[in-house]
Amino acid sequence: MLNSYPQALTIAGSDSDGSAGMQADLHTFFARNVYGASVITACVAGNSYGIHASVPMPTDFIDQEFADLADDYHIRAAKTGMLADSELIEDVVKNYQAADFGPLVVDPVIMTKHGNQLLEESAFNTLRTKLIPLATVLTPNFYEVQKIAEMTINSDADMIAAAQKMQAMGAKNVVAKGSHADTNQQAVRDYVLLESGESFWLSEPYHETDRVNGTGDSLSACITAELAKGTPMKTAIAIAKQFVNTAIGSPIEVGHKFGPINHWAAQQREY
């Protein structure tokens, strides 16, 4: 008798140092007992000092990746990460709409926390009008919230207004990740606005560490993994927040500067 695991898909860029992008997604799927498939959209060369080169995949190759998975696998939930430019977004939208891959978590990767731009500025409108309307869950970081909602966030009220604006763009559920710029902070808070209209702040302790590469990827991948298992939305988001917090709280020795989070530590805990 073969073992069976729910299947999830990451549609994302490869990050050569393994800390972020589809590698972080696949680490997370594994840690959450979900089988991970991947549609690679771009290749990024980098290490713990930053990103040094990036190339998008040809769209006919991406079409083939989707077709091969649709022919053979039973994907129950998918997520998007780095999509590089307008042409890639439109291609992914076309392929996702033609497939039957379950709920879609959109991590609208625009810029890494170290300032590397991973989406062309000219693609912002395509992101807003073509991809966000397909999002079962949208997970922008603090910078991306401001870019997508086209507003500056100075208060909780601003964050709530931005989340409502993104829901009005078509995202069913929104996880708007808060700022962690305040060095005195005790907690990191994300604002969650659900399809039902229920909303709340999710808070976990702040960890003082520079080993935080791939946090956003891992958060959205964990939500995807839980949705693939059939976990209800609110629980899936809460598990993901705790999973990433545990992974940040036990740093590992990889690279010399901004390292990855610890998916092993997060795997060993029950949520």
Ligand X SMILES: Nc1ncnc2c1ncn2[C@@H]1O[C@H](COP(=O)(O)OP(=O)(O)O)[C@@H](O)[C@H]1O
Contact residues: ligand X, CB under 6 A: 113, 141-142, 177, 180, 188, 190, 204, 206-207, 209, 212, 215-216, 219, 241, 244-245, 248
Q: Under the criterion CB under 6 A, does residue 217 sit at the interface with ligand LCLJCK34?
A: yes
Q: Which stretch binds ligand LCLJCK34 (CB under 6 A): 14-22, 58-66, 150-158, 198-206?
A: 14-22
Residue written as token pair 């964050």: 159
- Judged by CB under 6 A, the number of residues near ligand LCLJCK34 is 18
Q: Are 153 and 142 in contact (CB under 8 A)?
A: yes
- Quick one: 213 or 245, whose CB is closer to ligand LCLJCK34? 213
216 binds ligand LCLJCK34 (CB under 6 A): yes
Q: Crossing angle for the helix pair 215-229 and 21-31, nearest 10 degrees? A: 40
Nearer to ligand X, 36 or 108 (CB): 108
Q: What single-letter DSSP state applies at residue 256?
A: S
Nearest by Cα to 177 from 199, 147, 145: 145
**Main-chain phi, psi angles of 38, to 5 degrees:** -140, 135
| Residues in CB range of 181: below 8 A, 6 or more apart | 142
Q: Is 159 helix (H, G, I), strand (E, B) or coil?
A: helix
Q: Is residue 168 a contact partner of residue 204, using CB atoms and an 8 Å limit?
A: no
| Smallest distance, ligand X to C-beta of residue 215, A | 4
The correct pick among 113, 165, 180, 234 for binding ligand LCLJCK34 (CB under 6 A) is 113
Q: Which residues bind ligand LCLJCK34 (CB under 6 A)?
A: 12-13, 15, 20-21, 44, 81-82, 109, 112-113, 118, 212-217
